[in-house]
C-alpha cells in the first residue's frame, strides 16, 4: 500500500508540472507518465483518464488558494493586517509554484462553468467579518465609499497581475529572473500602501 501511495503521489506531482506548463489541451498522458518515471498503462491504472487526472490537479490548485484566502478574510485581524496577509500569501504561493496562478486563471477562463460548479461545491462566501470591516470603515468616514468585493478584487488584482503576466513584465521592464523576483518582493510592501492610500480619507 505504501508503494502504491508513493506512486500515486509521484504521478500527481508529475501531472501538476505538466498541466501547469501546458494546460489541459496541451498536456499528453505520455508526457505525464515519462515525467513520473512510469509506463503509460500504470498511469491509467491509477487515473483512468486525462480528464479525471486534470480535475484532481485543478481542484488541488484552487484549494491551495481559495480556502486560505477566505480564512484570512474571516480572521480577527485589522483590515490592514488582512491585506498584508493576503499579499504575503499570494507571493509565498507564487514562490512555491510559479506556474500555479496563471494555470488557475487560464483554466478558469477556458472552462468557466466547470470552475463555477467547483466553487459552488466548496460553498464559500465572502466572510461577514471582512464585509463588516469595510462597511464600518466607510460608515465611520475613515474610508472612501467602496464595496467589499471591489476592495478585495483590487488587492487580488495588484497581487496577481505581475504573476500571470510575468513574461510581459520581464520584457517590458528588461528584468532577468533575479531582478523580477526583487520586483515582486518590493510589491509586498507597496501593495498595502497603494490600497490604503486609495481609500483612507
The 10s digit of each residue's pLDDT in 102-123 is 788 877 888 788 778 777 887 7
Q: Report whether 116 contacts 63 (CB < 8 A).
A: no
Mean pLDDT in residue range 167-178: 94
Q: Specify the higher pLDDT residue, 66 or 77.
A: 77
Q: What is the rounded distance in angstroms from the CA atom of residue 39 to the CA atom of residue 32? A: 10
Q: What is the rounded distance in angstroms from the CA atom of residue 163 to the CA atom of residue 44? A: 33
Q: Specify the higher pLDDT residue, 24 or 176.
A: 176
Query: Residue 2 has what pLDDT?
Result: 61
Q: Could you report the per-residue pLDDT of 131-166, keeping only the tens digit for each?
A: 999 999 999 999 999 999 999 999 999 999 999 889
Whether the per-residue pLDDT at 1 is higher than 70: the answer is no
Beta-bridge partners for 143: 200
Q: Could you report the per-residue pLDDT of 17-75, keeping only the tens digit for each?
A: 888 888 778 888 898 888 888 888 888 888 888 888 888 888 887 788 888 999 999 99
Model-level pTM?
0.82
Contacts 24+ apart (CB under 8 A), 35-44: 36/7, 36/10, 36/11, 37/10, 38/7, 38/10, 38/11, 42/7, 43/11
Share of the chain above pLDDT 70, in %: 99
Q: Could you report the per-residue pLDDT of 187-200, keeping only the tens digit for each?
A: 999 999 999 999 98
Query: Residue 185 has what pLDDT?
Result: 94
Whether the per-residue pLDDT at 3 is higher than 70: the answer is no
Closest CA to 130 of 72, 68, 88: 72
Q: Report whether 192 contacts 170 (CB < 8 A).
A: no
Query: Residue 127 has what pLDDT?
Result: 93
Amino acid at each position: 500500500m505504501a508503494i502504491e501511495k508513493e506512486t500515486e503521489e509521484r504521478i500527481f506531482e508529475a501531472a501538476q508540472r505538466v498541466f501547469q506548463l501546458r494546460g489541459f489541451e496541451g498536456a499528453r498522458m505520455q508526457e505525464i507518465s515519462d515525467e513520473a518515471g512510469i509506463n503509460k498503462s500504470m498511469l491509467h491504472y491509477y487515473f483512468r483518464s486525462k480528464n479525471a487526472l486534470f480535475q484532481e490537479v485543478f481542484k488541488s490548485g484552487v484549494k491551495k488558494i481559495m480556502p486560505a484566502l477566505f480564512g484570512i478574510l474571516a480572521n480577527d485581524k485589522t483590515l490592514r493586517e488582512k491585506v498584508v496577509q493576503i499579499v504575503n500569501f499570494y507571493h509565498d504561493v507564487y514562490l512555491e509554484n510559479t506556474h500555479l496562478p496563471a494555470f488557475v486563471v487560464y483554466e478558469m477562463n477556458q472552462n468557466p462553468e466547470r470552475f463555477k460548479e467547483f466553487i459552488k461545491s466548496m460553498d464559500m462566501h465572502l466572510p461577514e467579518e471582512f464585509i463588516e470591516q469595510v462597511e464600518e470603515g466607510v460608515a465611520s468616514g475613515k474610508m472612501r465609499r467602496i464595496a467589499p468585493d471591489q476592495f478585495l478584487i483590487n488587492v487580488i488584482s495588484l497581487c496577481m497581475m505581475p504573476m500571470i503576466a510575468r513574461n510581459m513584465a520581464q520584457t517590458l521592464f528588461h528584468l532577468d529572473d533575479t531582478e523580477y523576483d526583487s520586483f515582486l518582493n518590493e510589491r509586498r510592501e507597496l501593495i498595502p500602501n497603494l490600497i490604503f492610500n486609495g481609500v483612507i480619507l
